Structure 1
Amino acid sequence: MNPIDQQTTDRYPTSLRILHWARAVLVLGLLWAGWHMTGLNDEVASKYELYYPWHKSFGVLTFLVILTQLAVRFRTPSLPQPLETLEGYEKFLSRLTQRVMYVLLVIVPLMGYSMSSTYTMSDGVFFFGINLPELLAKNDDWFVVFQWLHKVLAYTLLGLILFHVAGALKHRFYDQDPRRDVLRRML
């Protein structure tokens, strides 16, 4: 089998590809909504009646998608290895970026949950109409810490996403060797 044919068959399983793209859409939507809603004036009714409840619901949904994706990854016996055509530093950056992104994809929603759970003026975390239990005591001092972590880590995640997308697009459109096209593996 020639290397280009092997690369097209060396794709991630369908379940992981679907979860990857679903997660991508959800995370980008949450990042946009979080940035937009925090920029709204507090007097704008939709900020607290629409944006925050939906941001929380989709945040929990995204967290569940991420946990599902991680479970499928761990249960999948063999995943595609980094392409041999990539340079050593590219393989290293790819693995590091992917691992840090997964860590942040778990931690950022946990910090959001912690914010809502500890804020004394919060009604808690709703998941599409279901009020989830609050596992942390109300404490506005802790809320400030969780709020800061949620914000800083979400922006860090956004930076890594941009780096991840730029790398995939570089290999797809800039590199002269089609065997370096990593995006093909996730399509």
Structure 2
Amino acid sequence: MTEVSRTGRSVRYPVSIRILHWLRAILILGLIACGWYMTGRAEFDPTAGILYPNHKQFGILVWLLALVHLTLRWRYHAVLPHKPAALKAWEKRLSHGTQRLIIALTLLTPLLGYAMSSSIPDGDGVPFFFISHVPEILPKSDAAFAVFQALHKYCAYLLLACIALHVAGTMKHRLDDKGGETDVLPRML
């Protein structure tokens, strides 16, 4: 049974959104770690030959899960918990902006990765689990590849910074504020 506040809104997020939140968190952090490892290795390292295609297909999965997340947020909009009233106005704005940026970057970063892989001359394509290759719609170009590569990298770093800020805010309210009304972590557990 879902707990409901005095306003009639849920105190916790729906189960589907909570599961999706944690699944996306694990996948995104894994992809960022994998990206760091791959780019720090020699191009012909045998490990890289396994990691690159998996990084690509899990990146597409993150993009698809971001679309599902947006759909669920739209569907459950009327029952999603509000920001706690005890939060300061700047905390609400920062939280809202950070969450929006995380959503935008989980859509943009995989698209830039796809564009990078799609535009590289002599590339090996973009696999997606049971589909041998996702259609490549961009022309092959070293210059475009370099631009998409840089954008993909910087968006991944920005996404990681936003995640760190998101976690820091959650822990601040959990630990420094001693829980209470501003403790938002139980809403996602």
Q: What range describes the TM-score normalised by the shorter chain of this pair?
A: over 0.9
**TM-score w.r.t. length of structure 2:** 0.92
Root-mean-square deviation (Å): 1.8
Match of 1:58 in 2: 58
Q: How many residues align?
A: 183
In the other structure, the counterpart of 2:148 is: 146
Deviation string, structure 1 residues 43-101 (Cα, Å, up to 9, x no partner):
31221x20100100111111111111111111114221111011111001000101111
Say whether residues 1:178 and 2:184 are aligned partners.
no
Superimposed CA distance per residue, residues 6-31 of structure 1 (whole angstroms, 9 cap, x where no aligned partner):
49x51111111111011000000000
SS of equivalent to 2:149: helix
Paired residue type of 1:152 = Y
Q: How far 1:177 sits from its partner (Å)?
A: 4.9
Task: Please give the secondary structure, in 1, of the residue aligned with 2:127.
Answer: strand
Give the AA of the match of 1:76: Y
d(CA) in 2 for partners of 1:77, 1:43: 48
Runs of 4+ aligned residues of structure 1 deviating over 4 Å after TM superposition are none
Aligned to 1:20: 21
Distance in 2 (alpha carbons) for counterparts of 1:176 and 1:128: 44
**Equivalent residue, structure 2, for 1:111:** 112
Gaps in structure 2 of 5+ consecutive residues: none
Question: What amino acid is the match of 1:56?
Answer: K
Cα deviation digits, residues 111-152 of structure 1 (max 9, x gap) = 000000000021110012421100111111101000000000
For structure 1, the 5+ residue unaligned runs are: none
